[in-house]
Amino acid sequence: MELSEDLIKRRSKHFDLSCVTLLDLSDAGVHQITHLEKCIHATEINLANNQLRELDGLPSLASLRSLNLSRNKLTSIDDIPSYPGLEEFSIAGNQITMIDFSSLASRLPLLRSLYLQDNPVSSNKDLVALLQKHFPKLLLLNGKAVALFHLAQDTSGAKTQIPNDSIQFNKPSTNASDAFIQQATKKLEEMLKQCDQLMETETQRVSKALNPASAS
């Protein structure tokens, strides 16, 4: 089904599409995107559980903060428009095999939360490193703190070797342990600070959405 103005109006409960801020189009059987360019003030769009195979018709919206494209039939997001203010992006449960993260980062410069699970690309062993390189503001990956993924990699310094029948643990020296603890503590503090900032931003966004009169 092609996305119609009537469906947008019914789902958003707005006759004037320019007044739409929160738009839930999930489970609507949509296979082609149209008319969303008229939702110029949309801050959140949910297109989960549809039949989308491509992103043709998806417009660039300056006010958009959250976009959910999970559980569709997408194989690529190379043609995604630029969203300068987008903070949360979900493409979980699609058929995406490859992503140009450098290009994606240039289009989503403020991304803080990314849901990528249940895609072939999510099995890339270098995924976390690539995301940290291209998305310095990213806090959450698949709902988990990115900093914790990095800490898990750091702990690999204590390796276990099993020569013949004996077990030997290569324990880091005291100095190395102290350095690791300091590094881990610093990263956790940074993560908590970023989470506080994210919560404050989300609280303000929800408050404005629920009380549009007070935001004006």
- Span 30-41, pLDDT tens digits: 999 999 999 999
Q: Within the chain, what is the greatest distance between any pair of CA atoms?
A: 74
Give me the CATH number covering residue 12. 3.80.10.10
- Are residues 181 and 158 in contact, defined by beta-carbon separation less than 8 angstroms? no
Q: Distance (Å, rounded) from C-alpha 147 to C-alpha 97?
A: 25
| Residue 199 and residue 112 share a domain | no
- Structural domain boundaries, residue 138: 1-142
CB atoms within 10 A of CB 171: 11
CB atoms within 10 A of CB 131: 21
Dihedral class, residue 13 (left if φ above 0, else alpha if ψ from -120 to 50, else beta): left
| pLDDT above 70 (res 157) | no
Number of domain units in the chain: 2
Range of lowest pLDDT (99-113, 122-136, 178-192): 178-192
pTM of the model: 0.73
CA distances to 7, 39, 117 from 93, in Å: 24, 26, 6
Band of residue 148 on the pLDDT scale cut at 50, 70, 90: confident
209 or 50, higher pLDDT: 50
| Residue 131 and residue 89 share a domain | yes
**DSSP character at residue 72:** S
Q: Distance (Å, rounded) from C-alpha 210 to C-alpha 216?
A: 12
In the block, tokens 């300091």 appear at 182
| Residue 104 and residue 9 share a domain | yes
50-82 confidence digits (pLDDT tens):
999 999 999 999 999 999 999 999 999 999 999
- Are residues 48 and 26 in contact, defined by beta-carbon separation less than 8 angstroms? yes
In the block, tokens 């750091």 appear at 154
* Total residues found in the chain within this entry: 216
Over range 182-199, report the average pLDDT: 69
- Are residues 79 and 57 in contact, defined by beta-carbon separation less than 8 angstroms? no
| Residue 129 and residue 115 share a domain | yes
174 token code pair = 């005291």
| Residue 120 and residue 38 share a domain | yes
Paired residues of 2 in beta bridges: 32
| Residue 198 and residue 171 share a domain | yes
Q: Distance (Å, rounded) from C-alpha 164 to C-alpha 166?
A: 6
| Residue 185 and residue 81 share a domain | no
